[in-house]
Structure 1
Amino acid sequence: MFGPGSEFHGFFNDPRWALAMVRATVLEAAHPQVGAALLDNSTFLAHPWRRLRNTFLSMQRMFSADEQVRKREAARLNRLHARLNGTGSDNRPYDAMDPAVRAWVVATLFESAVTMCQLSGQSLEQKAMERLYAEFRTFLATMGDEAGHLPVALADFWPYFDRVVARELENTEAMRIILYKLFDHLPAPPVLNGFPALWATGRAIAGPVIGAITVASLPEQFRRRAGLPELAGAQTLMQGAYLTVGLVRFLPESWIQAANIADLLALSPHSDDPRARTITALHEQMKRAGALLRLVTPFPPEPEPAGGAETQRSAAEFFAEVLDQTGDGFLDWPDLAAMARELSSRLDLDEPEETRLYTAYADWWRELQTALDTDGDGRVSAREYATAVPSLAGPSLIRVAEVLFDVTDKDGDQHIDADEYRALFQTAFHRDTTDTRGAYDRSAFVSEFLSFMSGRRRTTPYDPLLAQA
């Protein structure tokens, strides 16, 4: 069912899967419960590349050939989903542990994989489709959900899918953001940071095209009900896109491995990864191209921070880039929970360390809420934050730093060594952080973390951790 030889494994490095995943995400976001959970808790708007990479790594683990890896990832996802519940802006409750909703998410992945093959002119044979469906049902069972939430037989799946599309999906705000706003404001991946003109030019072209392709690929009955406009020629454009992207899979396998592409997109020029040298050289060439492009395009260059690797950022910049993880313009618990989630994912934490980190962030949120929420609406606005100009290094933030050090220091020797540092920051030691032993001690780590969070400094190791998209 899993690993090499499975039907899904054959799709993992298929470039068509990129288009199919966008389509599946739109169908997920059209479900009212999923849409509300995304708006309230997800970092897909403010940190889309980080979210994409984390989702990819999770899928890798869930379809691993190693049963223990699958079980551990399933337990991690269940803990994550158990924390995602609340009431949406329409006053309807949502719960990420709702088994029917989780079944729908799996259903969109399976149906989009089948549709992907159909649109690219290579429909799956019946037996292959049945095997793929069995794999996705097993995926759901691995999560601990009852298998009955997805029909047992493939023949019964299609009426189930059509019924949910017809009766439950809506034109949600989250769906509209993914289709029409996400690509308009999509920040550059870390590897392309510093080239706003080049990125803006490509995004201005690709965004509307991807949106049109996705809308054209959605079920017709849902397009009509949701009032989604379909551009003239969009069906032809969509089929041409799937056919063209499908041809890419005939390139050498090493060129199109999804893991390599995901790592490259997330790669910082400051990384100790050998590929970073090549990226740095490409950056120099792209700077020249970017300068030329700025002369002939209307996209103004975005200001670059002056003063090298460590400079002060304004309170507004710090709020938007670091504190507001969900991108909704406010600071509340989901933003700090997103920080805990990202750190837990990077360090691959298990219990009880994961809960310790979440608890530390929850305590910090209560401290911030008490100090900064002047109008009592349960959240902190950018204006409230900027007006207070707070010193964030209170007792609870110090506790966050202490717990983060503890969970990073895997061997408990009170020093973070090179491997532990790389696990957290995904780069080699920053030269200024090591002591005479060549390690990062507790006091230095806590001091640097508090300096970043309260002094609003741009720093080489910490910005990729919490600020970059």
Structure 2
Amino acid sequence: MTTETTGTADEASLFGPKSQFSAFFDDPRWALAMIRATVLEAAHPQIGAALVDNSTFVAHPWRRLRNTFLSMRRMFGTDPAVREREAARLNRLHARMSGSDSRGRAYDAMDRATRAWVVATLFESAVTMCRLSGQPLDQDTMERMYAEYRAFLAALDGDAAELPEDLNDFWRYFDRVVENELENTEAARVILYRLFDHLPAPALLDGAPTLWAAGRAVAGPLLGAITVASLPEPYRRRAGLPEMPGAPTLMQGAYLAAGLARFLPEGWINAESIIEALSLSPDSDDPRARTVTALRSRMKRASALLRLLTPLSGDTNPDPAPSAGTEENRRSAEEFFRRVLDQTGDGHLDWPDLAAMARELSTRLDLDEPEEARLYDAFAAWWRELQTALDTDGDGRVSAEEYATAVPSLAGPALIRVAEVLFDATDKDGNGSIDADEYRTLFRTAFHRDLTTADGAYGQSAFVGDFLSFMAGRRTGTPYDPLLADA
């Protein structure tokens, strides 16, 4: 019994606010390290294929960032029950991701060696982050942090056998994978050259596309150059990545500048608050939303001034002119397809897009396995219905053109069933209506005025009607916009 208690205490000491991992959560350098780690993950053939087929990181990167951040918070928190529940959720999520890449090579998101590589990139990027910013970790700190990451892997897989026990052996393992297994995958190229150049604005800045495009035109190439310069030299050589003049100096300067944040008073930089603020929608009842709304108004004026003074060429996403569809608070078929249906951003609608919707809804509602399975099954049935109705060329997916020519057939029985299952999942107490707390869990805002009823609840009929109005009627200004359309 003493041994078991000691083991539990040792494991607990590797998580929580006193862990080395938690010390990095509010560190600006961590953002650079996470981008670098993501590229190294995407360069692995199995992970790269899974990302291209299933991930929403291209079309909805800010949502992906928020979900990843919250997941890591849960995994490295002090509550073992929360950690176990989150690990189970992640395993169910990954169990649904398998297939083959463009060369016919199979991938499986539950492959233990592949999952170990994800953890390895996080650890190595954290160590590199400290080294590049002039604050290298001492051996004892590295040993402790490595133990934390192995404990993280053990929480997911049951053990950490796929990562070497000894830190010195880890470096040999890491170098071997970099030199022999990593490739110039499509996913890695997308992150380095497409994502930064075409990064959609977060909800906070969605109202000022010209201003966002101007900032992105400068910051995007810089982030790409910094990330490439920070990657291991053997991978840069094998992948044929460009060696830009001055990039190493730029990269070193970026890490050093980010490292200066350690001189700021404690609490001045809070990653969770920043991510939450970026995700605020205009109609949120969060107290910060009023400040954000005022900021949006100022940014729109600045955007208009910038457009007058310095017209930009190329892909600047200018403010769209009002259209008939906009005047009716409806998206065009093309815009709805791009912003809502094509969740993975590959230009087509297929099962991974609807699975991504189910995944986001399940995450928001923190569903257990039975409810999660029901929601996925409902979306799978909807996909079969869509494929039958819209896939006219029989290629197994739906193009934007096929969708535009057959929009009326979108609202079939399967979509209605999705709305009903989603209502049941949101109605936690099963009383047949959604109260204010349940509504907030799904939409992260309070009831809209037009939804408030005499008994302060939201019935199934109204819920289903609003869902169909959004999905089939392409209505804007609904609570589903920040849920499924925002980046």
* Alpha-carbon distance in structure 2 between the residues aligned to 1:269 and 1:313: 18
* Alpha-carbon distance in structure 2 between the residues aligned to 1:183 and 1:235: 19
* Alpha-carbon distance in structure 2 between the residues aligned to 1:389 and 1:409: 30
Match status 1:418 vs 2:436: yes
Letter in 1 for 2:320: P
Is the contact between residue 407 and residue 472 of structure 2 (CA under 8 Å) also seen in structure 1? no
Offset at residue 45 of structure 1 (A): 0.4
Match of 1:342 among 355, 360, 370: 360
Which residue pairs with 1:55 in the alignment? Answer: 68
Match status 1:92 vs 2:92: no
* Alpha-carbon distance in structure 2 between the residues aligned to 1:362 and 1:26: 31
Give per-residue Cα distances to partners, 1:184-214, cap 9 Å, x unaligned.
1111100111101110111000000000000
Which residue pairs with 2:310 in the alignment? Answer: 297
* Alpha-carbon distance in structure 2 between the residues aligned to 1:229 and 1:377: 36
Match status 1:196 vs 2:209: yes
* Alpha-carbon distance in structure 2 between the residues aligned to 1:332 and 1:456: 19
* Alpha-carbon distance in structure 2 between the residues aligned to 1:217 and 1:148: 28
Letter in 2 for 1:5: K
Give per-residue Cα distances to partners, 1:7-26, cap 9 Å, x unaligned.
11111111100000000000
Match of 1:159 among 147, 172, 179: 172
Which residue pairs with 1:247 in the alignment? Answer: 260
Give per-residue Cα distances to partners, 1:154-174, cap 9 Å, x unaligned.
010000000000110000011
Match status 1:368 vs 2:420: no
Cα–Cα, structure 1 residues 235 and 363, in superposed 2: closer, same or farther, change >3 Å?
same
Which residue pairs with 1:17 in the alignment? Answer: 30
Letter in 2 for 1:459: G
* Alpha-carbon distance in structure 1 between the residues aligned to 2:321 and 2:356: 26
User: Matches of residues 225-264 of structure 1 in structure 2 within 5 Å?
Assistant: 225-264=238-277
Offset at residue 254 of structure 1 (A): 3.1
Give per-residue Cα distances to partners, 1:293-336, cap 9 Å, x unaligned.
01122336221656889701111111111110001011000000
Letter in 1 for 2:351: W
* Alpha-carbon distance in structure 1 between the residues aligned to 2:469 and 2:350: 21
* Alpha-carbon distance in structure 1 between the residues aligned to 2:328 and 2:16: 44
Give per-residue Cα distances to partners, 1:126-159, cap 9 Å, x unaligned.
0000000000001000002432200000010000
* Alpha-carbon distance in structure 2 between the residues aligned to 1:254 and 1:211: 29
* Alpha-carbon distance in structure 2 between the residues aligned to 1:249 and 1:193: 31
* Alpha-carbon distance in structure 2 between the residues aligned to 1:182 and 1:96: 22
Offset at residue 120 of structure 1 (A): 0.3
Is the contact between residue 194 and residue 304 of structure 1 (CA under 8 Å) also seen in structure 2? no
Is the contact between residue 53 and residue 344 of structure 2 (CA under 8 Å) also seen in structure 1? yes
Match status 1:278 vs 2:291: yes
Is the contact between residue 351 and residue 380 of structure 2 (CA under 8 Å) also seen in structure 1? yes
Which residue pairs with 1:40 in the alignment? Answer: 53
* Alpha-carbon distance in structure 1 between the residues aligned to 2:369 and 2:234: 44
Letter in 2 for 1:281: A
Cα RMSD (Å) of the superposition? 1.3
Cα–Cα, structure 1 residues 305 and 357, in superposed 2: closer, same or farther, change >3 Å?
farther
* Alpha-carbon distance in structure 1 between the residues aligned to 2:25 and 2:247: 27
Secondary structure class of the residue paired with 2:268: helix
TM-score (structure 1 length as normaliser): 0.98
Cα–Cα, structure 1 residues 310 and 70, in superposed 2: closer, same or farther, change >3 Å?
farther
Secondary structure class of the residue paired with 1:194: coil
Is the contact between residue 305 and residue 311 of structure 1 (CA under 8 Å) also seen in structure 2? no
Is the contact between residue 439 and residue 445 of structure 2 (CA under 8 Å) also seen in structure 1? yes
Give per-residue Cα distances to partners, 1:325-351, cap 9 Å, x unaligned.
001011000000000000011111112
Spell out structure 1 runs of 4+ moving beyond 3 A: 304-310
Is the contact between residue 389 and residue 409 of structure 2 (CA under 8 Å) also seen in structure 1? no
Is the contact between residue 271 and residue 428 of structure 1 (CA under 8 Å) also seen in structure 2? yes
Match status 1:216 vs 2:229: yes
* Alpha-carbon distance in structure 1 between the residues aligned to 2:321 and 2:442: 26
Is the contact between residue 47 and residue 468 of structure 1 (CA under 8 Å) also seen in structure 2? yes
Letter in 2 for 1:398: I
Secondary structure class of the residue paired with 1:13: coil
Is the contact between residue 99 and residue 145 of structure 1 (CA under 8 Å) also seen in structure 2? no
Match of 1:398 among 416, 424, 431: 416
Which residue pairs with 1:26 in the alignment? Answer: 39
Q: Report the more deviating stretch, 28-37 or 141-150.
A: 141-150
* Alpha-carbon distance in structure 1 between the residues aligned to 2:146 and 2:328: 51
> Which consecutive residues of structure 2, in runs of 5 or more, have no partner in the other structure?
1-13
Is the contact between residue 15 and residue 249 of structure 1 (CA under 8 Å) also seen in structure 2? no
Match of 1:455 among 473, 477, 485: 473
Q: Report the more deviating stretch, 54-63 or 429-438.
A: 429-438
Q: Report the more deviating stretch, 166-175 or 145-154.
A: 145-154
* Alpha-carbon distance in structure 1 between the residues aligned to 2:429 and 2:225: 51
Secondary structure class of the residue paired with 1:278: helix
Letter in 2 for 1:333: W
Letter in 1 for 2:390: L
Secondary structure class of the residue paired with 1:60: helix
* Alpha-carbon distance in structure 2 between the residues aligned to 1:428 and 1:252: 34
Match of 2:184 among 145, 148, 171: 171
Letter in 2 for 1:314: S
Cα–Cα, structure 1 residues 27 and 108, in superposed 2: closer, same or farther, change >3 Å?
same
Secondary structure class of the residue paired with 2:290: helix
TM-score (structure 2 length as normaliser): 0.94
Match of 1:108 among 111, 121, 133: 121
* Alpha-carbon distance in structure 2 between the residues aligned to 1:53 and 1:154: 31
Is the contact between residue 40 and residue 334 of structure 1 (CA under 8 Å) also seen in structure 2? yes
Offset at residue 437 of structure 1 (A): 1.1
Is the contact between residue 310 and residue 459 of structure 1 (CA under 8 Å) also seen in structure 2? no
The number of residue pairs the alignment matches comes to: 469
Cα–Cα, structure 1 residues 304 and 38, in superposed 2: closer, same or farther, change >3 Å?
farther
Cα–Cα, structure 1 residues 213 and 431, in superposed 2: closer, same or farther, change >3 Å?
same
> Which consecutive residues of structure 1, in runs of 5 or more, have no partner in the other structure?
none
Is the contact between residue 96 and residue 102 of structure 1 (CA under 8 Å) also seen in structure 2? yes
Match status 1:131 vs 2:144: yes
